[in-house]
Amino acid sequence: MANGRDHQPTTLDDLRVTVAADATAFLEAAPDAMVIVRRDGRILFANGQAERLFGYPRDELIGQLVDVLVPARYRGAHPGHRAGFFDTPRARPMGAGVELYAVRKDGTEFPAEISLGPVATAHGSVVSAAIRDVTERNRVAQARAELAAIVDSSDDAIIAETLDGMVRSWNRGAERIFGYTAAEMIGRPVAALLPPGRVGEGPTIIAQLLRGDRVAPFESVRRRKDGQDIDVSVTISLIRDVHGQIVGASKVARDISDRKRAERALAAAKEATDVANRELEAFSYSVAHDLRAPLRGIDGFSLALLEDCHDALDATGQRYLRRVRELTQHMAQLIESLLSLARITRGELRHERVDLGAAARATVERLRTIQPDRQVEVGIADDLIAWGDGRLLGVALDNLLGNAWKFTRDHAAPRIELGAGAFDGARTYFVRDNGAGFDMAHAAKLFGVFQRLHSPDQFEGTGIGLATVQRIIRRHGGRIWADGAVGAGATFYFTVPTQGPPP
């Protein structure tokens, strides 16, 4: 065979002789490491694979006890096992389920599969042993077992299917989510999970994937074994074999019923809120329209009376009518304030950089224009930047500064200050005045609707301003509180976000 004369016709007998003569060459060519061992454990033969596997030169192996190839911890028992085998020899093939360890010359161990073949010779029985290093095979098996464990421990259903839609694998998550066992589903069409009306969904997506389109995870509905439909999020991808050939598809399905239920509950709650807001809006609208109309009538006829029937009224009668008109105007202001309070509660909150200092300067400018005879010293700190709804924060400052302006009216040297500082670690803005102040015993009432700490004779007002301010600050997630004393001024503190979300 190896002598280059293969082309010459040979008889079967010739070939037999050749094979017998070259037996050693066959052992040499075997894919596994091979040693032949005598009854006393001496190695009679070792092939080149054995040299390489164990790291011994062949002449060191020949004549050596085979026990040196067994790790030291098993070595003591080995002669006994060996003797037992020679007493009742029977062939033990590879893969007989026995995993052993072998040791190299350098002392390193490796898992080995060993097959034994007893051979009777004219000079007594010998055993041929083939040794295979199974380190790599074990590693692959371990990795596969780990992957299988991961797949099996997943809460998601992980399913493999053939291109024609037959289930090939079915993990425990799939059993739990869909109610079918692996035994019930493997080999069956995966379409069993599709509710009527969605039957085309799977094939359509697989067709898309085969065309090379990207398919994002999508939400759908699947039917459980018990007939109940559940919301799922599905990811489908193709499975290729080692040659890159597409052989099927994997589906990962997540049970999102809880999330969907929560979403539906949230949507229902939002709808209820929207309905309530629309009702509030309708209410505000009718307040605006229906309450103003009679007031206009009262005012209009009072004026008509004053003008048309002037001579029939004495001074007292005329004064009464003027009071009627004043009170009408006051009520109109109350309605207007209530409406603006309602407007602040609804509507989208904007998020923008707000220069409170600039807004305050504009407010003070307006106050000075309206009452040019007032001499008020106003101090506004630098760098009062907040983050929120500029219009609403402007309304809040209008109210706070307007109050400070109003309540310093009787002071000889009125002063208003807008500043900021850190209170309890949070940046806090404040509006301080040296005006009439208030009794801290009534501080809780300051922010209530229609709550006033002064009579209209002392200071005019609707009792809605601070309620409005509080609502604006709260809508910004901030806090407002006040500090003051009768005759010693008041300070209103508030917090609002100082910066927007990080970009």
Partner 1 sequence: MTDAIILLVEDNASDEELTLRALKRANVRNPVVVVRDGAAALDYVFRRGAYADRAPGEEIQVVLLDLNLPKLSGHDVLRAVRADERTHLLPVVILTSSNEDRDLAEGYAGGCNSYVVKPVDFTQFAEAVRQLGLYWLVLNQRPRSP
Residue ranges in contact with partner 1 by CB under 8 A: 285, 288-289, 292-297, 299-304, 325, 328-329, 332
Give the residue with the Cβ less far from partner 1, 307 or 373: 307
Q: Report in angstroms the alpha-carbon separations of 57 from 51, 62, 131, 218, 258.
A: 6, 9, 17, 63, 68
Give the residue with the Cβ less far from partner 1, 73 or 278: 278
Contact criterion met (CB below 8 Å) for 481 and 493: yes
300-304's contacts with Cβ under 8 Å and 24+ in sequence apart are 302/328
Q: How far is the CB of 273 from partner 1 (least distance, A)?
A: 19
Give the residue with the Cβ less far from partner 1, 274 or 365: 274
Helix (H) or strand (E) holding 319: helix 315-345
Give the residue with the Cβ less far from partner 1, 288 or 449: 288
Query: Residue 115's beta-bridge partner residues?
Result: 130
Q: How far is the CB of 305 from partner 1 (least distance, A)?
A: 11
Helix (H) or strand (E) holding 416: strand 415-423
H helices of 195-314, where?
A: 201-210, 257-286, 292-308
d(CA 97, CA 105) in angstroms, rounded, equals 26
Two tokens, residue 390: 């500029």
Give the residue with the Cβ less far from partner 1, 90 or 289: 289
Q: How far is the CB of 447 from partner 1 (least distance, A)?
A: 26
d(CA 460, CA 454) in angstroms, rounded, equals 8
Q: How far is the CB of 347 from partner 1 (least distance, A)?
A: 10
Q: How far is the CB of 295 from partner 1 (least distance, A)?
A: 5
d(CA 181, CA 178) in angstroms, rounded, equals 9
Give the residue with the Cβ less far from partner 1, 164 or 308: 308
Give the residue with the Cβ less far from partner 1, 2 or 293: 293
d(CA 300, CA 488) in angstroms, rounded, equals 43
Contact criterion met (CB below 8 Å) for 178 and 224: yes
Q: How far is the CB of 311 from partner 1 (least distance, A)?
A: 17
Q: How far is the CB of 292 from partner 1 (least distance, A)?
A: 4
Two tokens, residue 135: 């380190």
